[in-house]
Amino acid sequence: MISLSRSSASRTSEFSPPKMSADSMEIDDSLYSRQRYVLGDSAMQQMAQSSVFLSGMGGLGVEIAKNIVLAGVKVLTLHDTKQCETWDLGSNFFLRQDDVLTQRNRALAVHPRVAELNPYVHVDTSSSSLDLSTDLSFLKRYQCVILTETRLSLQKKINDFCHFHQPPIRFIGCDAYGICVRVFCDFGDQFEVSDPTGEEAKEMFIQNITQGNPGPGVVTCMDSRTHGLQTGQSVLFREVNGMDSLNGTARQVTVLSPYSFTIGDTSCLQPYAHGGFFLLVKTPRTYSFETMEQQLSEPQVLTPDFSKPEAPLQIHAAMLALDAFQEQHNRLPNIGCCQDAEVLVKLTEEVNLTLTTRAPVNSELVRCLSRTAQGSLPPLAAAVGGIASQEVLKALTGKFAPLQQWFYLDAIEVVKPLQSLSAEEFSPRGDRYDGLRVCIGETMCLELHKLRVFMVGCGAIGCEMLKNFALLGVGLAKSSGEVCVTDPDLIEKSNLNRQFLFRSQHIQKPKSTTAAVATLEINPEMQVDAHLNKVCPATEGVYNDLFYSRLHLVVTALDNVEARRYVDSRSVSNQKALLDSGTMGTKGHTEIIVPNLTESYNSHRDPPEEEIPFCTLKSFPAVIEHTIQWARDKFESAFAHKPTIYNMFWQTHSSAEAVLQRMQQRETLEGAFQVVKLLSRRPSQWEHCIILARLKFDKYFKRKALQLLHSFPLDTRLKDGSLFWQSPKRPPSPIEFDLKDSLQLEGTIDTLLTPDCVCVCVCVCVCVCTTERLRMSPRMFEKDDDLNGHMDFVAAASSLRARMYSIEVADRLKTKRIAGKIIPAIATATAAVAGLVRQLLTVLQVNYGIYPTIVLTVFQVNYGIEPTIVLTVFQVNYGIEPTIVLTVFQVNYGIEPTIVLTVFQVNYGVEPTMVVHGVKMLYVPVMPGHNKRLKLTMQKLIKPSVDRRYVDLTVSFAPESDGDEDLPGPPVRYYFSPDGDAHSA
């Protein structure tokens, strides 16, 4: 029987979750707000009532423990029978040197550090034996069981117990052996998923619905919007005029085009008139799982890399052979032992014959697995730990389609090129890097130690990156390496749900310096330099060319596109490799950018965000997003913009008397009208605030509606005879003020009171009266402080406007996400994406002559020409040796713009449309007078400062077709002197 240790007085006396309904669970939004947008309240509440058993506190186990504790389960039991060893320090970031010296049990050692991640989770430990003779009845108290570092025979026994228990206990088996990892999921015969995709249902407006005669009706989306539906899905109709009987009903769709679909027979319905919209109906789906025993010979596998479609089955056979090797020899293959490798190859061939679906045996993969099986790649463990943790959340909540049933991932590209190195390269040396050394060798380890890395951003991904750097030994002080990290932000409580290096005592402390201290606790040998700067044009004096010249690698851990673009441009200009990654909810991406090898981040652009037209916001809102944005704009105008204008006015004018005198002389003073208006309406006491707020309510929610209906009566028709008030336009209904309506009070009177004697309402911002001059204190919108009243105002104002236009009101949570432009986030996705930092190893291997897959460049995609053709001219004209378009083209001093243009026109057959330096247009053919500039030198056009060595120019080219944007070309670095020194005055 497994025994359980409770080492904290705050732990519960029993493991059984308390008897309570899901509705009675209160979610701490200040901590879980970003995760709530991913999972939803129902899933969060289910998770908060679930107990989980996790065995194995190696690198993979501790990754899973971290992620699910941050997510917020009720109880987690950490099980392990092993003692801490030096080897563990290279993969388990919660172990310390003292734990090794005292030979503590691994579960007991990590327990306090796991437990402090989330005060809402009860963490217990067990060090009892778990083997084939163990009574498994103790598992009945858990909803999910996760096994790591467990022999396959024991995994099968425990999986059978979980599968056939009623109700089934969700089972997840995880293994990490060197370059190969696997995850197996079994959630029972009938596992219902309430929301397979997790995508938010969006309202799509209808242009037309045909009336089948007989036959299916065709629905066409308004303004050629793509519906994003799939055949077999169902949609719900609302506010349809004419075919009224469709409203409130769900119809299954058959997709005809991206803009249209059929909904079955409509011949018996009334003809469609106008308006209406539809939403995707969330349809629950039931999944059936088989036991591990059943799945061994006929596996269901996921293909994560379509460039290697046979890899999952090949790894499946190889890892089953590795399990058989352990059963036969009671050990893993010896490091670098050729005899063991050949035995494993033979075993793999035998296993492969037993599989119903098989792929050719990959002998090279098997030999790499044999050599590295005792080792560990921390980033690979982080990636699969994030994936396995996400499956835990699916198992507990029934949210998102589960993994069926095997997931395999390998990093053979990292180690395959190193096979020719001597066996001594991979031999253990008795330090914390032995597990890594087994996989990549001593030489690569030393290269990692010497790395100088610049990481921009220290949020969720940044914390995970720093942890991975610490385990890999990146930037060691003794090797003159360094990790420089910069982030201007302070730690907020909402960060603690994902940014695992921070604790509650760190709130309002800088992210970068706090993370640096935490990183050094993981690996004291590192050198971490923490800054509080933004990386932008304003800080180019700090992050200058000399700074970049010392770097080996740039890493972005940012949450916005513009910052990424800037860092990418600086990396390209300075010829530094860049690793970029990001997440949104359960989705994520990672990108490796290598000079002379791949295209840059700026070479491709996402579609621009669709902006809401001004007239829609002002008079014709159609969906709740419009009313929320309107309320957000009103807040910005009243509480930030107007006070700022007011204060700026008095910074440039000495006194009210002087202003009055100049106005009497009929001088035009910018901002004077706004200032006079604010002064004339300023409240002197609370009653005045009430009056002003009441008047503002009538303006926004009554008179605005009356004015629109007067200008456009309900029966107004356009020139084509169609109604003016038809979808997506909604006619407003005036709202009468009612003191009994709490929503109206919240929407008209904000409770932001300052200690100085001031009043706040929707029409005047926080005004502080002083004896010398009336001044105003702007309020910047802060979404995460529930006590400041900001969200109260926006939510109430949005809801009132939605009521006025008969739009379904959004709850506070949705309003907060839209108004605050919050990006949904969850720790499991962050960990998985950051784990792909293993690409760092690929970047290093460029030194060994090994290159990752080359990405098509802008020139190849848009002009259909080979990069070698594009670059030949630069080799001839400038004597440089670029290998792909990403290269910065260096241009000698004193040339005229015509030289740059001619190179592209004559030799490439592409037409440059402009030459730009920053925001300054140096040459644009269509601009008046610009042809005269062709005879001027760059120095005369740019007029650089005396100490300026060079400038980076952007040359753009004509698009493929009309209407497309110009295409930016590779950077052109123009030097002002032959040797690159600062030019003389």
User: What's the maximum distance between 2 C-alpha atoms anywhere in the chain?
Assistant: 102
Q: Does residue 325 fall inside a structural domain?
A: no
Spatial distance between the Cα atoms of 193 and 178, rounded to a whole number of angstroms: 34
What is the pLDDT at residue 396? 96
DSSP string, 747-760: HH------TTT---
Identity at 503, one-letter amino acid code: R
Q: 140 and 248: one domain?
A: no
Pair of tokens at residue 451:
């790395």
615 catalytic? Reply is yes
Question: Minimum mean pLDDT among 490-499, 679-688, 955-964: which range?
Answer: 955-964
Asked whether residue 216 falls in the same domain as residue 262, the answer is yes
Average pLDDT in the 545-568 region?
90
| Between 953 and 379, residue with greater pLDDT | 379
Domain count, the chain: 4
Of 458, 615, 763, 769, the catalytic one is 615
pLDDT over 70 at 889, yes or no:
no
Boundary (domain end) residue, out of 820, 848, 875: 820
510 falls in which pLDDT band (50, 70, 90)?
Answer: very high
- Residue 513 in any domain: the answer is no
- pLDDT band with cut points at 50, 70 and 90 for residue 419: confident
How far are the Cα atoms of 388, 399, 816 from residue 42, in angstroms, in the given order? 21, 9, 18
Give pLDDT, residue 953.
76
HSE on the CB side for 885, CA within 13 Å? 26
Q: Looking at residue 938, what is its pLDDT? A: 72
| In the predicted structure, residue 774 carries a pLDDT above the cut 80 | no
| 756 and 619 within one domain | yes
Q: Is the domain of 690 the same as that of 787?
A: yes
In this structure, are 185 and 257 located in the same domain? no
The pLDDT, as a whole number, for residue 947 is 75
Report the range of poorest mean pLDDT among 6-10, 365-369, 543-547, 644-648. 6-10
Same domain as 148, residue 256: no
- Residue 35 or 907, more confident: 35
**C-alpha span between 187 and 193 (Å, rounded):** 11
568 in a domain, yes or no?
no
| Domain contains 18 | no
pLDDT in tens, 925-968: 778 877 777 777 777 777 777 777 777 777 777 666 665 667 66
- Is 516 domain-assigned? no
Better-predicted residue by pLDDT, 140 or 791: 140
Question: Between residues 791 and 3, which one has the greater pLDDT?
Answer: 791
Strand order in 889-891's β-sheet?
A: 889-891, 967-975, 950-957, 912-917, 920-923
Is the predicted pLDDT of residue 384 greater than 80, yes or no? yes
Residue 520, burial from CB neighbour count under 10 angstroms (0-12, 13-18, 19+): middle
**Do 130 and 90 reside in the same domain of the chain?**
yes
> 8 lies in a domain?
no
* pLDDT (mean) for 138-150: 97
What pTM does this model have?
A: 0.83
Percent of the chain having pLDDT more than 90?
Answer: 47
Residue 586 has what pLDDT?
Answer: 84
**Percent of the chain whose predicted confidence (pLDDT) is above 70:** 82
**Tell me: the pLDDT tens digits for 209-257?**
998 777 788 999 988 788 888 898 899 999 999 898 899 999 999 999 9
Residue 144 pairs in a beta bridge with 52, 170
- The answer to whether position 233 is within a domain reads yes
Domain with 726 in it:
614-820
The model's confidence at residue 842, banded by pLDDT at 50, 70 and 90, is: low
- CATH label of the domain that carries residue 234: 2.40.30.180
For residues 145 and 274, membership in a common domain is answered with no
CATH number, domain of 960, equals 3.10.290.60
Please tell me the predicted confidence (pLDDT) of residue 604.
Answer: 72
**pLDDT at res. 979:** 58
Q: How confident is the model over 261-269, as a mean pLDDT?
A: 89
pLDDT at residue number 870: 30
pLDDT given for residue 437 in this prediction: 94
- How far is residue 180's CA from residue 384's CA, in Å, rounded to a whole number? 10
Higher pLDDT, 961 or 318: 318
pLDDT in tens, 793-816: 898 899 999 999 999 999 888 999
Burial degree of 326 (CB within 10 A; 0-12, 13-18, 19+): middle
Mean pLDDT of the chain: 82
CATH number of the domain residue 685 falls in: 1.10.10.2660
Last residue of a domain, one of 281, 303, 337: 281
How confident is the model over 506-528, as a mean pLDDT? 96
Nearest residue to 396 via CA among 779, 828, 882, 776: 828
Selected residue with higher pLDDT from 657 and 211: 211
Is the model's pLDDT at 358 over the cut of 90?
Answer: no
Q: What is the pLDDT of residues 716-769, one digit of tens each?
A: 988 888 889 988 889 999 998 877 766 655 544 443 332 222 223 333 333 333
The reported pLDDT for the residue numbered 978 is: 60
> Terminus-to-terminus CA distance in the chain, angstroms?
85
Instruction: Answer yes or no: is 522 within a domain.
Output: no
Residues 657 and 802 in one domain: yes
Query: For residue 388, which phi and psi values (nearest 5 degrees)?
Result: -65, -40
Residues 152 and 232 in one domain: no
Residue 950 is predicted with a pLDDT of 76
pLDDT attached to residue 759: 28
The answer to whether the CB of 464 falls within 8 A of the CB of 835 is yes
**Residue 10 pLDDT:** 35
Length of the chain: 985
Window from 57-66, 279-288, 419-428, 492-501 with minimum mean pLDDT = 419-428
Helix (H) or strand (E) holding 554: strand 553-556
Question: Of the candidates 231, 263, 281, which is a domain's last residue?
Answer: 281
Which residue has better confidence, 971 or 850?
971
As a whole number, mean pLDDT of residues 61-79 equals 96
CB–CB of 498/553 below 8 Å? no
101 and 132 part of one domain:
yes
Q: Which residue has the higher pLDDT, 856 or 512?
A: 512
Same domain, yes or no: 804 and 938: no
Q: What's the average model confidence in pLDDT over 669-676?
A: 72
